[in-house]
Each structure stands twice: as structure tokens, then as C-alpha cells.
Amino acid sequence: MASSWLRSFLLCCLLTGAEIVLGFNNKIPDSPSVNQTSFPVRHGTRSKVRKVTPAPTKPSARIFSTSTKPMVAHFTTEDLEEKIEPNLEKWLWGKGERDEPMLFDFINVPPSLLPGVKSGIEDGDNYDGAWCAMHEDKKQWFQVDALRATRFTGVIVQGRNSIWSWNWVESFKVQFSNDSLSWTPCMNGTQQAVFEGNRDTDTPVLAAFPDPVVARFIRINPQTWFKNGTICLRAEVLGCALRDPNNIFQELVEEETRDKLDFRHHNYKEMRKLMRSVNEACPDITRIYSIGRSHMGLKLYVMEISDNPGKHELGEPEFRYVAGMHGNEVLGRELLLNLMQYICQEYKQGNQRVVHLVKETRIHLLPSMNPDGYEMAYKKGSELAGWALGRFSYKGYDMNNNFANLNSVMWDAMELETDKSKLINHYIPIPKQYTSKDALVRKLHEEICQSCKSFINLLTLIMPHNPEVISIKTQRVSEIVLLFTNGRLKVAPETRAVISWMQSIPFVLSANLHGGELVVTYPFDMARDWAAREHTPTPDDSFFRWLATVYASTNHAMSNPHRRPCHNKDFTRQNNIVNGANWHTVPGSMNDFSYLHTNCFEVTVELSCDKFPHTNELPIEWRNNRESLLVYMEQQCMLNKGIKFLRWKNDSQVHRGIKGVIKDKDTKAGIADAIVKVDNIDHHIRSASEGDYWRLLNPGDYEVTVMADGYVPVTRSCRVEYEYYPTICDFRLSRVVKPRLREILVKKRKIPKELQLRLRQLRLRKRERNAKQHVSDI
């Protein structure tokens, strides 16, 4: 997930935990000494294009219709034997289309040894977006200390990530050292090698060394740079750490997980193969189905895990994990593939924790929401994919804000509607303009272009002597406008598929897996009044904070008190959770849409600082996230029968809310779409097709009211305890008869036959009850 920190200082380096030392004429803000000052490096993060956000148009309050019956889709089981079309296969894996992956390792250093990065954090800051030299000459250098002997194989460079400047290094030299005193240049035969750098700010350029070099220190020495800019760069240093036979402690620290899982990156073919192998190994608890296709025709496969796959069981909650919304944020994809393998293996071995989870929860795992984007990033690999390549879909959609913006619909209706009782706060219908092809594109395109002209005028005032830069910026703004109108206002086929999936299955809890940061965000993701950043809580804010804390506090990387920030924002001060809108506003996010259009509560998990970690990092990332993935699912499992595996502070058990079944008092049939209202929480939910419901709540006493069309509302008290078992709150509703009969008699109309039959049935039942009471009295 992108944010404002992506416009600030960024240094990509596979030598994770290495130290950076800047040359004697270099500048870094808040640095007491530019000589021999150590800074940590982070890898796998890329630059970001600023999006232009239009002002919302206010719809009529009548958009709050209670008629919210979506078309229900049925997802058939897939056997994964379907052949891929030849043209699509050629585009994905055609000869020469995919670069060979670069097999490089990285270095781990205890975070306690590393200080924090200091850099600019605001647009316009002179120091933001890269390392920059103080002077423009060939004596400037940038140094990395790997802390131990390393076989260096190359570097990857990018320009400065800033909307206010246009800086990159066009050529550079490299030097090596074992003591930081004597330096040896990288040679190309008999001459010192000069490597080609960048021609723009964003494209990663690989400089592979003619021969690997073993050393501890490496320096990058810029030689030429963009003529209208200055010396600025971002760098990723490639190499393999050499093992020290005398350091036994190091071997213990680097011990990885013992789980026997397939730790590697899987393209579309390999993902299908792995999912099929899991299904064949555990056919009784797994089912594979597809919810739709991507623009290029790749299927969006889902692995269902349940003791009765393919069927919603009464009272059993539905859970989902979604990964790969941004195709180049690949860790979530691999974690879900690992998770389905792990559950299958542990279930077969009789792990009671996993067995209970499978029996009491219907789990859905969507490992790749944006398979087209993933394949684009996969072709380039971890090093050269760049920040944006693969983030968007093939057609340029950013699915992170491609869902209907129901926040504005709700807030605008609140302002326009004088009778607040007519407003609804859940199951908000999707506006017609969201699905129509040309409804708002032309109007908003004009508004955006007007904003673009103002932006270009501002650039002209700031940089009157840089016409070339202004020309490039103008082109970039035009690209943003095109991307916005094509990607933001039109709905991607992948987004449509996920919306249909949401509407078809009564999900209760979900998490959306991203990458590029270590934090859990919770709704709302969009700030009110289109503010760039503002705390915007939901009515269920306390519960969402608890949910986010459950994942963050059990994640090994997030919960490490000594860890370094991924970038310039230290989320450890907030316990590694943040309100999404208070980080950066995202109109049309899946989290907000899920909360406002369905019953499902959803958070976003930023899994790792690196969006595309290397293969040898995957076991470590699985170890960091395994417990979090399980514990988060168990929060819903507790809604069913409760579990005894999760312990919280002071060894107290955790409880999740209330559940029950809403039935017709006379026929005993379940009532679908009944509204469940909790006093003092301005957000309702609805019952599923068979009348079962789940309401996530923190411990406490609640007055719960259930309403349904044609029935008399019923209110009862429900107490949510701290115990591990759920609170069962069933409701029996009586049909409304007397008000309808009274209305007919007032208007002197004939009583319909079905109402006459209903009255006769009620009289007979009343007589039967009186007779039974008379017998019991005797």
C-alpha cells in the first residue's frame, strides 16, 4: 500500500541491516556528522506517483434505499486442468519474456545495532526521496558497510523520488574495501569499470559487476548526473554474505522455520500446481473455485477450507484472506499458499488447534487478486520490478481505490437528509454512476484538468529556469489524469469479481494483505471532507483497534520493540496499528466498502518492509506471520464455539461477540435480511439467507434489537463475557397482523383470503394454548 512516506527518503538495499556511510561532502538532515555516520538501509520499496483527487459530487439522500438485493453468484469447483490460451501463455511465459531470476542473498543484523534513518518527510523538503551529495563534483561517494565478508555481485540504482525535483545519476564507479581505509576499484579488464546509471527517476537499472568481489565495504562514486539536477540516488546492493565458521551464535540466530512448506515464488502456473497438490492431499476439507477472471483472462482462484467444503453451514462463520491486490506486493500471496499447505499438513497430523479451526470456520483464501500485475512484476524479479511495475492491473487500475466510494455517499446523505431516521448505516447500495461507463468520467476529467493547470502554474513559479523539468512534470500530470479517469472511475473486472464474491457469501471477518510497511490499518481508510490525512473512526472503532492489535501483537517482526522503522514513520509508537485515514486517505478502499456494503469487518495488514522479498527470506517471513494468521482467524472461530488456545494479558480468555439465529416464531423458518441493531453503535448488520447472524463486539452489556419486514421488532439484552465461549442471542419474531387488519377495516376494504387464513390459524393456536393451560391447571 502506498503512502506519503514513499515520497520521502528511500534507500533500497538487499544488505538488510547493513550500515551506510556517506562521503565527506554529503548531506543528510539532522545528522551530527556526515563522516563515518551509520544509517540502516531498507530494500524493496519504490517511488510513487501522486494522484489527483477530485472533489466529491453530492448525491441525493434517496440513494439510501433499503432495497439492497444483489445478484448472488454461485462459484463452481475448479479442477485446475483447464489449459491456458496460447496467446495468453505466450504473453506470460513466452520465450525471452521473462528475465532469469537473480540468485542473491542478503545480510541480517540485529536491529538493536542500527540507528534510525533521518530524512525529509514532506513534499518540498530539500532532502526527501534519496541520498543527495552536498557538492556537484566527482569526489562524492556513498558507502555501505556489510558488517562481515560479503561476495558483492552488483548494484541497482534509481533516481530521487520527489515531485519537486528531477535528479538522478547517469554514470558511476564502484570501489571495495576490507577496512574502509584502502580501496580497490571495480575493474573491467585492465580499466576501471564505469557503470551506466539512470535516465529517469523511477526505472531501476542493474549494474552487474564483471566478476564477484569479496569485501566488507562498498562505495558508489557518481561520475555524471542529470544536467538540470544534482547528485541524488537510491541504491540496492546485491551480494551474498559469507558464513563465518567461528561464529556459532550467528548460525543459531539465522535458524528458520521447521515447517516443510514450498518456500519460493510461484507464478500463475506454479500457483495452480501447488493449490491442486493441497486439494489432492486434503480432498475432504478443501475445495478450489474461481470467482472470475482478470483482464488478461487469468482466473482468480480461491482455496476453501472447511469440514464441509462447498456449503454454508448454519451458524458457522465465513472468513476470508485476500492477497495480491497490488501485484508487486507478493509476500501475502506466498503466505496464503504456505497457509493452505500448513493447515492441510497439520489437520492430517491431528493438530487440535487446526482441526478445531477447520471444523468451526469456513475459510476462503484468495492468494492473487491481481494476477496480471503479479506476472508483470514476476518477469522482472525482486530487484528490477520497481515500485510501480505490477502494482496496477494490466489496464492501469489501482484496485486499492477501485471500489465504490460509499463513504462519501453516506456522509453526503447525512448532510442533505433532515430526517435522520430515514438514513441507513449499513448495506449501503452501490451508486449507479459507479457501474455506468461514462456517467462521471467527462465531468470529473474537466475538474481534474483544471487542478492540473493550477499545479503546472505553481511549478512555473517555483522553477522558472527549468523549462525542461516543467515539460516533464506536465507530461507526468497528464499521465496521472489518464490513469485516474481510466482506473479510478471505471471498475476493473477483478474488482467486480470480488464485489460479487462479497455479495454471495456472508463473510464476517477478513484481512487484506499488502506489503511495503509493517503496520495494521483499520477503517475508515478515507478521511471525511477529502482531507489528506485525518483520524476518521467507524462506529466500531474500539473493536477494529482490538482486531488490529491481535495481528500486530502476535507478529514477530511488528512486536519486536527494537526493530527499525521501515521508512520515516515509526509505527511502533502506535503499537503498530493506525487508523487508515490517519495514515493517508484512500477513497474507495476494499476495507471501507466491505464495512459499509456487507456485514464483513476487514483490516489491512502491511506484512513487510519489502514488497518483493527474496526467496530465501520467505521462511523468515512465514515464521514472522504464521501465528498472526492463525490467531486472527481464531477471533472469528470464537464466535462459533470458542477456543482455548489463545491467551491474552493476565492469562484471560478472549471473547468476540454475539451470534444466533433469527426465526419466524410460528413457522420456525430462518428470516433472511433481518436487521440486527446494537444500541449506541450506529452500524447495523443483517442476517444470512438461513437467518443466522454474527455481530462482532467487545465484552460488555448490549441492548440488541432485531427488525424485519412484516415482523414485530424484538429487543433483548445480550452480555458479551470475557470467556472463550460466545454469547448466543437467538430471536423469534412474530408476523405483523393486527396493524394490517386495522388498516383494512378503516378503509372498509375486503379482507384478503391469506389474511383470513392467517387470523384463523392464530385463533386455533390460541384455543390450543388455552386448552393445554386448562388441563395443566386441573
E-assigned strands of 477-631?
507-514, 519-522, 577-579, 601-606
Q: For residues 175 and 536, what is the distance between their CA atoms, to the nearest angstrom? A: 50
Q: What is the rounded (10 degree) CA torsion for 390, 394, 398, 402?
A: -150
Tell me, what's the pLDDT at 641? 47
- Pairing label, strands 232-241, 131-133: antiparallel
What is the spatial distance between Cα 129 and Cα 202, in angstroms, rounded to a whole number? 11
The model scores a pTM over 0.85: no
Residue type, 67: S
Which residues are catalytic, by number?
606
In this predicted structure, what is the pLDDT of residue 489?
Answer: 52
pLDDT at 76: 76
pLDDT for res 174: 96
Q: By 3-state DSSP, what share of the chain in percent is helix, strand and coil, each rounded to 5?
A: 30, 20, 45
pLDDT single digits (tens) 220-276: 999 999 998 889 998 888 888 887 766 654 444 445 568 889 999 999 999 999 999
Residue 691 is predicted with a pLDDT of 94
DSSP-derived 3-state class of residue 657: strand
Distance CA 191, CA 662 (A): 81
Q: What is the pLDDT of residue 62?
A: 33
- 276-293 pLDDT, tens digit per residue, is 999 999 999 999 999 999
User: In Å, how far are 229, 387, 615 from 610, measured between CA atoms?
Assistant: 28, 10, 12
**Contact between 263 and 617 (Cβ < 8 Å):** no
Residue 540 is predicted with a pLDDT of 95
- In this prediction, residue 710 carries a pLDDT of 84
d(CA 695, CA 508): 8
Q: Which pairing describes strands 299-305 and 184-185: parallel, antiparallel, or unpaired?
A: unpaired
Q: Give the pLDDT confidence score for residue 329 in this predicted structure.
A: 93
Which stretches of the chain score pLDDT less than 50? 1-71, 95-127, 249-254, 438-451, 458-459, 461-488, 641-655
| Strand pairing category for 205-225 and 39-40 | unpaired
Question: What pLDDT does residue 125 have?
Answer: 43
Q: Residue 666: what pLDDT?
A: 77
pLDDT at 279: 95
For residue 637, what pLDDT is reported?
56
How many CB atoms within 10 Å of residue 613? 24
Q: 718 pairs with which residues across the strands? A: 702
Report the DSSP beta bridge partners of residue 133.
26
Please give the Cα distance from 107 to 242 (Å, whole number).
9
